[in-house]
């Protein structure tokens, strides 16, 4: 199936930002973002409510410096290059072929951190909660509350219909067969395996052991890394997705509801949505470390973020190759 040529995204490219630029904007404003980060309040009866609670994140200046270093590291720049080249190849694709279907299958596979890591953290914390000493319960519950903020939108608690958004987009792209196993991309499956292994690592180890606590902390750091990466990724492709959809189905330009559904997967993750989720994961990690007596090392956070970026970059390299 051939698509009509539409170069709108190319004509206005000079007005758009790279992933690196989106990252600089976010990291430069990190202290301001943290100042307003909070666990939402909760009504407890018809006439009573508990107010929202501001997050407590320490060493903000040091974390900001670390994130700046991660952002400009060659590993991150290479990964961003692979991602941007992949998206450019996707935007230029004029027909539904094996390459496009592999891209859609594999790209979806890179967005499983919430289910494979964040949700498993929540399950593990919840499963162990009854065994946590009373003097640690408040901190432990706050860590769970922050992880709830990380995952709630992806599971439909904050965004109705979230699970169907990718299907709306692929339908608008006339590429509904993307989910078939024959379109899987090895490197994307390997990335998903890495996420799964991170989420379940040491889940049966002794509750008070260093291995157990460190595994939870690393999983939280992977969640941080993923969400901060996603913030750049989705903001980048959000600049182009509507024009791409219109190039496939021009009629959608005049159908507001259908267009909103078609671009919802990308638009719903753009803006500050993913970055905010990443900061909630950061707050959870610090509270968990303080509560359980584990050292939260910023240098370790840098290592984990770079490991994540290298692995997701490898997946995007494979997606770019599939599209060519």
Chain segment 39-95, per-residue pLDDT in tens: 999 999 999 999 999 999 999 999 999 999 999 999 999 999 999 999 999 999 989
Residue 248 domain-assigned (yes or no): yes
Residue 3 domain-assigned (yes or no): no
Question: Over 90: is that where the pLDDT of 311 sits?
Answer: yes
Mean pLDDT of the residues in the chain = 91
Lowest mean pLDDT among 132-136, 155-159, 311-315: 155-159
| Spatial distance between the Cα atoms of 311 and 214, rounded to a whole number of angstroms | 21
Tell me the residue range of the domain where 195 lies: 8-323
Residue 2 domain-assigned (yes or no): no
pLDDT on residue 55: 95
CA nearest to 22, candidates 236, 167, 212, 318: 236
Question: Over 80: is that where the pLDDT of 173 sits?
Answer: yes
pLDDT on residue 163: 56
Confidence bin at 227 (pLDDT 50/70/90)? very high
pLDDT on residue 157: 65
Task: Write the DSSP string, 113-175.
Answer: HIIIIIHHHHHHHHHHGGGS-GGGHHHHHHHHHHHHHHHTTTTTSSSTTGGGHHHHHHHHTT-
Q: Provide the number of structural domains found in the chain.
A: 1
pLDDT on residue 265: 87
Take residue 124 and report the two structure tokens written for it.
């593990």
Residue 204 domain-assigned (yes or no): yes
Question: Over 60: is that where the pLDDT of 12 sits?
Answer: no
Query: Comparing 147 with 159, which gets the higher pLDDT?
Result: 147
**Helices (H), strands (E): how many in the chain?**
17, 4
As a whole number, mean pLDDT of residues 296-302 equals 97
- Domain of 290, CATH number, reads 1.20.910.10
Residue 87 domain-assigned (yes or no): yes
Residue 1 domain-assigned (yes or no): no
| Spatial distance between the Cα atoms of 192 and 179, rounded to a whole number of angstroms | 15
Residue 298 domain-assigned (yes or no): yes
Could you give the percent of the chain with pLDDT greater than 70? 93
Residue 83 domain-assigned (yes or no): yes
Confidence bin at 2 (pLDDT 50/70/90)? very low
pLDDT on residue 223: 96
| Spatial distance between the Cα atoms of 243 and 58, rounded to a whole number of angstroms | 42
As a whole number, mean pLDDT of residues 210-228 equals 96
| Spatial distance between the Cα atoms of 277 and 41, rounded to a whole number of angstroms | 17
């Amino acid at each position: 199936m051939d698509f009509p040529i539409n170069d709108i995204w190319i004509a206005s490219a000079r007005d758009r930002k790279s992933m690196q630029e989106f990252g600089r904007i976010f990291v430069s404003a990190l202290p301001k973002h943290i100042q307003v980060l909070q666990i939402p309040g909760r009504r407890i009866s018809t006439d009573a409510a508990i107010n929202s609670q501001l997050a407590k994140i320490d060493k903000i200046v040091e974390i900001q410096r670390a994130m700046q270093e991660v952002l400009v590291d060659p590993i991150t720049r290479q990964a961003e290059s692979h991602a941007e080249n992949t998206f450019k190849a996707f935007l230029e694709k004029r027909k539904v072929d094996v390459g496009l279907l592999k891209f859609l299958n594999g790209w979806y596979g890179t967005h499983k951190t919430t289910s494979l890591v964040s949700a498993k953290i929540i399950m593990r914390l919840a499963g162990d909660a009854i065994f946590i000493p009373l003097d640690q319960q408040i901190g432990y519950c706050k860590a769970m509350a922050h992880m709830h903020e990380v995952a709630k939108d992806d599971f439909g608690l904050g965004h109705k219909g979230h699970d169907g958004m990718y299907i709306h987009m692929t339908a608008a792209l006339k590429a509904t067969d993307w989910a078939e196993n024959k379109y899987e991309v090895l490197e994307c499956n390997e990335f998903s395996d890495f996420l799964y292994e991170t989420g379940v690592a040491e889940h049966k180890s002794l509750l008070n052991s260093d291995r157990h606590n460190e595994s939870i902390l690393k999983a939280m750091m992977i969640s941080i890394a993923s969400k901060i990466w996603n913030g750049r990724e989705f903001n980048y492709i959000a600049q182009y997705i509507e024009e791409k959809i219109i190039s496939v189905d021009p009629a959608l330009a005049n159908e507001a509801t259908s267009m909103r559904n078609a671009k919802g997967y990308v638009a719903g993750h753009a803006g500050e949505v993913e970055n905010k989720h990443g900061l909630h994961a950061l707050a959870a990690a610090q509270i968990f470390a303080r509560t359980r007596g584990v050292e939260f090392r910023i240098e370790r956070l840098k290592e984990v973020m770079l490991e994540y970026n290298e692995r997701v970059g490898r997946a995007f390299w494979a997606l770019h190759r599939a599209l060519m």
